[in-house]
Amino acid sequence: VRVEFVRAVADVLAGDAKSMFITGDLGYNALEQLSATLGRRFLNAGVAEQNMMGVAAGAALTGLKPWVYSIAPFATYRCLEQIRNDICLHALPVRIAGNGGGFTYGIMGSTHHALEDLAVLKSLPNMQLFFPCANDHVAAAVVKMAALDGPSYIRLSISAFGTNREVLHEHPETLTRRYFVRPSPQKGGITIVGAGHGVQVALSALSHLGLDRENVDVFGVARFPWDLVKDTDLTASVAATRKVIFIEEHYRTGGMGESFVAAGMPLESFRILSASYDPNQRYGSARFHMQQCNLTPEALMAAVRGDQQPRS
C-alpha cells in the first residue's frame, strides 16, 4: 500500500510546485526517490510529530500544500491538538497520511496499532477522511485529497484477509465501491458494508468461504463525511434489505459504523463487526489480532446466518 501511495503522491508533487512532502522520520525503502527528486520540498521533520504538524500548518499559511507522513498512530494521537488547532481550525490544505491503520502493524504491539484514528479525526472541523479499501483504491483517494482546499487524512492499511476481487463499480466522487451484487435484489437479503480495508473480511468470505451469494450485497466505503445521496446503489441496497452488517478494523466507539447508522437510513437490523480492546491482550500478527476480536470472515458468515434467522 505504501508503494501505491508514494507513486500517487509523487505524481501530485511533480505536477504542483506548491506541494511539499514532510515525513516524521519514516519511509525507509519507500521515500528515497521522492526525497531525491523534491529537494527542499522534501522535509524530514525528525521524531517530533507535534512540531511536524505545526510546521506543516506554517508552511500552508505561506501558500504551500504539504503532505505529512508517518505511521497512523504517530500521525494522529500525539499531535491531535496541532491537527485541530493549527490545521483544522485554519482549514489549511494539509494532507496527513497515516500508514498502517488498524492492526496492520500487528506484532509491533498496541502502540503501533491505530484503532481510534478515524474516531478522533472525524469530529474535527473541516477534516475529510479517506480510507481506501485496497491498494488499487489508494491513487484515487490521493487525487481527491490533492484537489481539496482544506485538511484531509488518509488511512493506509493492509488487511490480514486481503484478497483481490473485481470491483463492480466505484463512484468517482465518494469512492464507494460495489464489490458484489446478489442476483435477485428484490428478495430480502443483507447489505454488507466494509469501511476501508475492513471490506476485505467480506471479500475473503466471498472468495474462500462461500458466503451466501444469493442474499448479500457487498460495498466498501472509503470517504467521510458521507455523501450517501450520491451512493445510489448502496442506498438502494439498504432500502431493499433493511439489514446491514458493517465491518471496520477500528474500535466500535466513535467508529465509522456509528456514523453509518447515524446517516438515518431505515433499518431493521444493524450489526457491527469491529476491533475491540482486551485488558489481557496478547500479541501477534494482524490476523491473530483480528481473530482475537472476532473480526474474521468466519465471524461474518455467522453474523449473516444469524441475521437470516426469523426473528421471534
Partner 1 sequence: MTSKSLSVLEADALSIRRKFLKMHFEANAGHVGTGLSDIDILAYIYGKWLRPVDRFILSKGHGASSLYATLHHFGLLPDEDFATYYKDGTLLPAHPAAKALSAIPAATGSLGHGMPIAAGMSYAQKHVHLTEARVACLVSDGECDEGTIWEAALFAAHHRLDNLVVIVDANGLQGFGRTEDVMNLEPLPSKWEAFGFRTSEINGHDFAQIDAAFETPGDGRPHCIVARTVKGKGVTFMENRLEWHYLPMSQAQYEQALEHIGNSETSKGGGR
| Neighbouring C-beta atoms of residue 269, cutoff 10 Å | 13
Using CB under 8 A, pick the residue from 8, 9, 59, 115 that binds partner 1: 59
Strands across the sheet containing 223-224: 42-44, 19-23, 65-71, 95-99, 152-156, 128-130, 223-224
**Site stretch for partner 1 (CB under 8 A), options 38-46, 104-112, 115-123, 128-136:** 38-46
Q: Considering only residues 1, 12, 23, 54, which one is a binding residue for partner 1 as defined by CB under 8 A?
A: 54
**Least distance in Å: CB of 119 to partner 1?**
21
Q: With respect to partner 1, which residue has the nearer C-beta, 78 or 242? A: 78
Q: Near partner 1 by CB under 8 A, which window of 42-50, 108-116, 147-155, 290-298?
A: 42-50
| Smallest separation, CB 49 to partner 1 (Å) | 9
- Are 156 and 3 within 8 A, CB to CB? no
Q: Shortest Cβ distance from residue 66 to partner 1 (Å)? A: 8
64, 71, 190, 300: residue in contact with partner 1 (rule CB under 8 A): 64
Q: DSSP letters along 105-153, please? A: TGGG-GGG-BSSHHHHHHTSTT-EEE--SSGGGHHHHHHHHHT-SS-EE
Residue 147 near residue 19, CB atoms below 8 Å = no
Site for partner 1 in 69-128 (CB under 8 A): 81-82, 85-86, 89-91
Cis peptide leading into 279, omega within 30 of 0? no
Judged by CB under 8 A, which of 15, 29, 36, 40 binds partner 1? 40
Nearer to partner 1, 20 or 304 (CB): 20
- Is residue 55 involved in binding partner 1 (CB under 8 A)? yes
Q: Does 26 bind partner 1 (CB under 8 A)?
A: no
Q: Choose, by CB under 8 A, the member of 37, 58, 230, 232 that binds partner 1.
A: 58
Q: Which strand (E) or helix (H) includes residue 83?
A: none
How far apart are CB 155 and partner 1 at their closest, in Å?
24
Distances (CA, A) of 73 to 41, 85, 131: 24, 19, 15
* Contact between 13 and partner 1 per CB under 8 A: no
Q: Which ranges of the chain would DSSP assign to H, the alpha helix?
A: 2-14, 32-38, 49-61, 80-81, 117-122, 138-146, 199-208, 232-241, 256-262, 286-292, 297-308
All three cell numbers of 222, joined, read: 472509503
Binding span for partner 1 by CB under 8 A among 61-69, 153-161, 225-233, 301-309: 61-69
Q: Is residue 12 near partner 1 by the rule CB under 8 A?
A: no
Q: Is 225 in the site for partner 1 (CB under 8 A)?
A: no
Q: Is 35 in the site for partner 1 (CB under 8 A)?
A: no
- Helices 199-208 and 297-308 pack at an angle, to 10 degrees, of 80
Residues 177-206 that bind partner 1 (CB under 8 A): none
Residue number with CB closer to partner 1 (50 or 308): 50
Give me the least distance between CB of 117 and partner 1, in Å please. Answer: 21
Give, as one character, the DSSP assignment of residue 102: B
Q: Which of 6, 8, 45, 142 binds partner 1 (CB under 8 A)?
A: 45
CA 40 to CA 19: how far, in whole Å? Answer: 11
What is the distance between the alpha carbons of residues 222 and 167, in angstroms, rounded to a whole number? 14
Instruction: Decide: helix, strand or coil at residue 295.
Output: coil
Q: What span, in angstroms and rounded, lies between the C-alpha atoms of 70 and 44?
A: 10
The binding site for partner 1 (CB under 8 A) comprises 20, 40-41, 43, 45-46, 48, 50-64, 81-82, 85-86, 89-91
